[in-house]
Amino acid sequence: MERDDEKIDEILTKLEKIKDPVGDIYRYNYQGFWIEAFTLKGLIPFQTQFEARDDDIILASCPKSAKTFEYTHSLSFITTIHQGLSLNPLDVFVSHWHFAHRFSGEDDIEPCHLEECFDMFCKGIHAFGPFWDHILGFWKASLEMPRKILFLKYEELMKNDIFFIKKIAHFLGFHFSKEEEHCGVPQQIEQLCSFENLKNINVNKTGKHSLEMSNSSFFRKGEIGDWVNYLTPQMAEHGKKLIQEKIGESGLMFDFLD
């Protein structure tokens, strides 16, 4: 273990790094993505030792893209199968910005931090960024392997969650019977996995994460379009234009709800 840590420390010294505007955090450019040192210490062993099984179910998303919400939907139904979840990038940024302040222990959110962080986000320098490379990889793979990869958007889930609960169940091979539908099982899952229900579970209100963060830090609003309360029209326009340039004619579209 000590030898592995020394090897990783040696790798870190050779990587490009940038200090995050929020907290005493450095991000390292590893294989085209920006990550923190502690992430790399888990990532390298994963890359070299992990072997996928045919019955694995993997849920992936950019950080702060409502993965906690979607994770519970997938567990309700308990081939390597991937589920990719996305949220429009402006909401992802605002959610991550709030989370970063909680993570660093800074309660007072300064406007200058917002502008600086947004500038870095648009340069692709954020947790596991660039956002567009992360999302496009799963989007394109879902088109090539639709039976193996299900690409979902949080905005669509929130508009018609019962439909997507059934879609996720079908994708995972757990179909609802007529009796289950008649008894309202999809609706029960909807209530069980709702943002408000998850947020108010005692362990999520009082418990702590392994990194000594409060579990409540992972639940803020769960709203779509909250970015309008933080970004100026100029910032939003710049962000939308940039994302459109990056995703090009891939067919992927985001609903910003403005």
Catalytic positions are: 73
Backbone angles phi, psi at 156, to 5 degrees: -70, -40
In this structure, is the dihedral angle defined by the CA atoms of residues 163, 164, 167 and 168, taken in order, positive or negative? negative
Pair of tokens at residue 35: 């990550």
* 247 in Cβ contact with 132 (< 8 Å): yes
* 107 in Cβ contact with 101 (< 8 Å): yes
- Going by C-alpha positions, the residue among 71, 118, 72, 123 that lies closest to residue 98 is 118
The span from the CA of 157 to the CA of 153, in Å, is 6
Pair of tokens at residue 219: 């639940």
Contacts of 102 (CB under 8 A, 6+ apart): 213, 214, 217
Pair of tokens at residue 96: 């991550």
182-204: b or e for each residue (b if 16 or more CB lie within 10 Å)? eeebbeebbeebebeebbeeeeb
The span from the CA of 242 to the CA of 248, in Å, is 10
